[in-house]
Structure 1
C-alpha cells in the first residue's frame, strides 16, 4: 500500500495510541471472547496510566502506521528487561502488531513487521520472538510466512479467561 508512513509514537500520542489499541484489539478478539473479559482487558490493558508507563520505558517502543495523517495500525517492541517473558538481552520481542480490519490485506502489518526487523538488525540481537494466540490463525500464518518457528507456549490472561499463546521466534543472521 502506498503513502503509509511508520512513525515512532511518544507520550504526546497517548490518546491516539489508546484509541488504535482498543479499536484493533476489539476488532481482532471480540467475537472469540466474552464482553465482560474484553471490557476488563480493554480498560486495564489500554489505560492511560499503563500506556504512559509503557511509552516512558526506554527499552520499549511503539510505532504507528499512518495514512493521510490517520493511525491505521501499530507495533510495540520490547528489549531487555522490558520483554514480557524471556527478558533475554540478545533478543527483541514483538509484543503487538495490530492493524485496523479495513486495512487487512494491504501490507500494513508487513511494513510494521519490517520496522521491527530493522530495529532487531540495528540492535544486533540474535533473535526476535513473540506470543500469538493459538486461535488466531491469520496471525500464525503471517509469522510462519515471515520465517518464525514455534518454540514453546505460555498462558495469556484475558479478563478471567486463561488462553494459550504459541511462542514463536526467528533467528537473525
Structure 2
C-alpha cells in the first residue's frame, strides 16, 4: 500500500466526497437495509445541494484520505450549530469517518480519527462525540479502542426502519 495522506477538502472536492460517501455507505449498510431505502438515503444525503451546503458551512470540516491520486476515505467534523444533536460549544462531533472497504484494516480510519483529534485540540474542544449504529461492531470496536464510551442513544431512520445509534464520547485533556 502506498502512503495515505489526509488533506482538508474544499468545494472543489464536492464530487469526490459524494462518490466516496455513497460508495462507503452502500458497502457498509446495503446488506442490512432495503434497496429502496438505501437509494433514497444516498440520493438525499449526498445530493449536490446538501454536500455543497455542508462544505460551505464554516462550522463543518471535511478531510479526504488519498492514496496517491485515489480517494480512499473521508472525515466530516461539526462544531457549534453544525453539530447534528448536542450543539455544545465545548464539543466537536465526528459525523463521518468513511473508509472504502478495499482499505479496511490499513489504518486509514485511524489516520482520519487522528485528524479529528488534532482538529478538536486545535479548536480547544473539551470532548469529541459521535453516533454509531449499535450493530456496526467494527466501528464500535474502533471507537472503544480509541477511548470512547457510550453515554446515550438516538434513533436513526433509514426509510421506514428505525435503527438505534449509540452516542459515544471521549473527553479530551487540555
TM-score range, shorter chain: over 0.9
Structure 2 residue 4 is matched with structure 1 residue 4: yes
Are the equivalent residues in 1 in contact too, given 2:2–2:68 (CA < 8 A)? no
SS at match of 1:89: coil
The total of aligned residue pairs comes to 173
SS at match of 2:150: strand
Q: Which residue of 1 aligns with 2:125?
A: 125
Alignment of 1:65-84 (within 5 A): 65-84=65-84
In 1: Cα distance, 2:146 partner to 2:9 partner: 25
Alignment of 1:15-164 (within 5 A): 15-164=15-164
In 1: Cα distance, 2:156 partner to 2:62 partner: 21
TM-score, normalised relative to structure 1: 0.98
SS at match of 1:166: strand
In 2: Cα distance, 1:157 partner to 1:87 partner: 20
- Structure 1 unpaired stretches of 5+: none
Q: 1:111-146 CA deviation, whole Å, 9 max, x = no partner? A: 000000000110111100000000100000000000
TM-score, normalised relative to structure 2: 0.98
- Structure 2 unpaired stretches of 5+: none
RMSD over equivalenced CA pairs, Å:
0.8
Structure 1 stretches of 4+ moved >4 Å: none
